[in-house]
């Protein structure tokens, strides 16, 4: 079907050469000389794009534009004007018009404008597809070339970038990318299984930054310069979700992004307690037994001592600082804090735990409506974008952009879309988590999980004698043989965390400097 163009200009006869040029290029052009006729034509026919003269007798271009947008809000309109008035440019920027051209216009200008507006998405997708196919071999070579921890960060960043860029591409190409991500996670799981034990015993220059390093290596060096320092931990935030948040924060901040690795299991009781304490879980249990709770209790009991653990870390470093800690579980709490966020600049260091993304992950697992709204990773990413745009966190950050402060944003762990089940056996006291379990007599498919026979070797607490841990790799989730079909159907294609995947372990560590 030919692209249909409506051209509205009171001097339309002078534009016949332009219209003939477009028709030779395969476009269909309908001319009218005034706004009233344009509205009548739009009521009768479908047009792909409208060229609209700004200055016409009777109903002028701006009045016609307003009526067109009332009747067909999505139709692209290009305003053609004799002037370079700022108002026209602001209309273009504001989205009322798709573009504007200054008279006199030539046929090639018109052609390029049509292509830019109507073919932009197709051309961009084709170029992106070509670029990804060129990168495919490079990424595959990196995966197969025994990558180290910094290489894995590069691989993950590149795959995430392509996953976001190819979201509108043909299904076949997206499947190629998904297969490559799965292949990468398979190799990554083997890499973690091989190297993680040694990381826990290596010097700092021989391993990546891990959860217990965050406050001592990132936060503390920023303190003492007369500025208040803020740490925002967005529970369960993936790197791709951060990228959509970053787009909204760019007008307010200069942003730099580094990465660190979550400890195992990639679950809040372990990873976030490790961040605040500066210790591994078994060390917390040993040094602060009153501040460590082990088991399958809800998060409020597992992480109820974060403020005390944070203060204990500062005390160990002999740093006398005024600190604040807030955990935001409900929107009302967030609004309350956002209203008085500038008051927190009176403290040397303020830490905020933002729980919404984690809540969204768990809610989607139990809600068929949310699964339909966010059926895949791109849709889930857009759902978190919508949340952030209207969140108290965004309001806090916009207010802090007006202050001379240090801001660090990170997360305790990410999540992965769990697509493959694997059967697990254990006694009745085995924990109920889907991506990791601890208990006695645990058995599962060795190819689907990392088996930790001696928790103390991995700085993990031992809940009972002879207890073990299993950590899911790739996109597996654990299901008991009892009621197998029921739980397989319930948890298939849900976002989970606790395991060893790139999405759960490789985490953004962001520094914001107000512009």
pLDDT tens by residue, 90-125: 655 455 788 888 888 999 999 999 988 887 766 777
Q: Residue 296 has what pLDDT?
A: 46
Count of domains forming the chain: 4
Give the 3-state secondary structure of residue 36. Answer: helix
On whether both 38 and 183 belong to a single domain, the answer is no
On whether both 241 and 376 belong to a single domain, the answer is yes
On whether both 279 and 311 belong to a single domain, the answer is yes
Write out the two tokens for 168: 């509108």
Q: Residue 55 has what pLDDT?
A: 87
Average model confidence (pLDDT) across the chain: 90
Question: Does 267 map to a domain?
Answer: yes
Write out the two tokens for 64: 């016609």
On whether both 404 and 475 belong to a single domain, the answer is no
Is residue 232 within 8 Å of 226, Cβ to Cβ? no
Is residue 422 within 8 Å of 478, Cβ to Cβ? yes
On whether both 421 and 410 belong to a single domain, the answer is no
Using CA atoms of 373, 376, 382, 388 in order, give the dihedral in degrees to the nearest 10: 90
CB atoms within 10 A of CB 351: 24
On whether both 433 and 301 belong to a single domain, the answer is no
Least confident of 76-90, 240-254, 357-371: 76-90
| Domain of 61, in residue numbers | 4-118
pLDDT tens by residue, 408-434: 999 999 999 999 999 999 888 888 889
Residue 267 φ then ψ, to 5°: -135, 150
CATH number at residue 46: 3.40.50.2300
Question: Does 293 map to a domain?
Answer: yes
On whether both 138 and 281 belong to a single domain, the answer is no
CB atoms within 10 A of CB 377: 20
On whether both 247 and 314 belong to a single domain, the answer is yes
Q: What is the percent of the chain with per-residue pLDDT over 90, rounded to a whole number?
A: 65
Residue 481 φ then ψ, to 5°: -60, -30
Last residue of a domain, one of 199, 233, 266: 199
| Distance of alpha carbon 122 from alpha carbon 329, whole angstroms | 42
Question: Does 367 map to a domain?
Answer: yes
Least confident of 131-135, 274-278, 334-338: 131-135
Is residue 352 within 8 Å of 233, Cβ to Cβ? yes
């Amino acid at each position: 079907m030919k692209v249909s163009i409506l051209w509205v200009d009171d001097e339309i006869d002078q534009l016949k050469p332009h219209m003939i040029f477009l028709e030779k290029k395969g476009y269909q052009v309908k001319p009218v000389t005034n706004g009233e006729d344009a509205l009548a034509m739009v009521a009768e026919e479908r047009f792909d794009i409208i060229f609209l003269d700004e200055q016409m007798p009777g109903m002028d271009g701006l009045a016609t534009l307003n009526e067109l947008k009332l009747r067909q809000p999505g139709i692209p309109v290009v305003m053609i004007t004799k002037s370079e008035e700022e108002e026209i440019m602001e209309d273009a920027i504001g989205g009322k018009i798709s573009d504007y051209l200054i008279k006199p216009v030539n046929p090639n200008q018109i052609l390029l404008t049509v292509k830019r507006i109507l073919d932009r998405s197709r051309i961009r997708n084709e170029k992106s597809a070509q670029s990804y196919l060129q990168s495919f071999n490079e990424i595959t070579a990196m995966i197969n070339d025994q990558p180290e921890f910094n290489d894995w960060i590069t691989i993950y960043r590149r795959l995430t970038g392509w996953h976001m860029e190819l979201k509108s591409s043909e299904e076949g190409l997206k499947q190629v990318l998904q297969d490559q991500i799965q292949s990468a996670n398979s190799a990554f799981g083997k890499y973690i299984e091989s190297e993680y034990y040694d990381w826990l015993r290596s010097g700092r220059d021989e391993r990546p930054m891990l959860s217990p390093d965050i406050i001592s290596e990132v936060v503390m060096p920023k303190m003492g310069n007369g500025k208040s320092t803020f740490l925002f931990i967005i529970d369960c935030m993936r790197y791709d979700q951060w990228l959509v948040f970053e787009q909204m924060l760019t007008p307010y901040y200069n942003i730099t992004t580094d990465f660190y690795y979550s400890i195992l299991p990639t679950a809040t009781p372990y990873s976030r307690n490790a961040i605040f304490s500066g210790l591994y879980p078994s060390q917390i249990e040993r040094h602060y037994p009153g501040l460590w709770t082990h088991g399958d209790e809800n998060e409020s009991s597992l992480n109820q001592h974060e403020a005390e653990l944070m203060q204990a870390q500062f005390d160990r470093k002999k740093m006398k600082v005024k600190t604040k800690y807030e955990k935001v579980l409900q929107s009302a709490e967030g609004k309350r804090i956002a209203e008085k966020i500038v008051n927190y600049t009176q403290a040397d260091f303020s830490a905020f735990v933002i729980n919404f993304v984690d809540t969204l992950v768990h809610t989607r697992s139990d809600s068929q409506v949310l699964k339909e709204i966010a059926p895949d990773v791109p849709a889930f990413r857009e759902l978190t974008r919508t949340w952030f745009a209207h969140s108290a966190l965004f309001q806090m950050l916009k207010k802090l952009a007006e202050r001379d402060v240090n801001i660090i944003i990170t997360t305790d762990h990410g999540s992965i879309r769990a697509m493959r089940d694997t059967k697990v056996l254990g006694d009745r006291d085995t924990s109920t988590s889907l991506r990791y379990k601890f208990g006695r007599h645990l058995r599962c498919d060795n190819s689907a999980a990392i088996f930790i026979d001696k928790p103390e070797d991995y700085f993990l607490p031992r809940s009972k004698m002879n207890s073990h841990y299993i950590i899911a790799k790739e996109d597996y989730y654990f299901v008991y043989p009892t009621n197998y079909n029921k739980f397989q159907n319930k948890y298939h294609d849900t976002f989970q965390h606790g395991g060893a995947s790139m999405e759960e372990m490789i985490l953004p560590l962001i520094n914001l400097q107000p512009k």
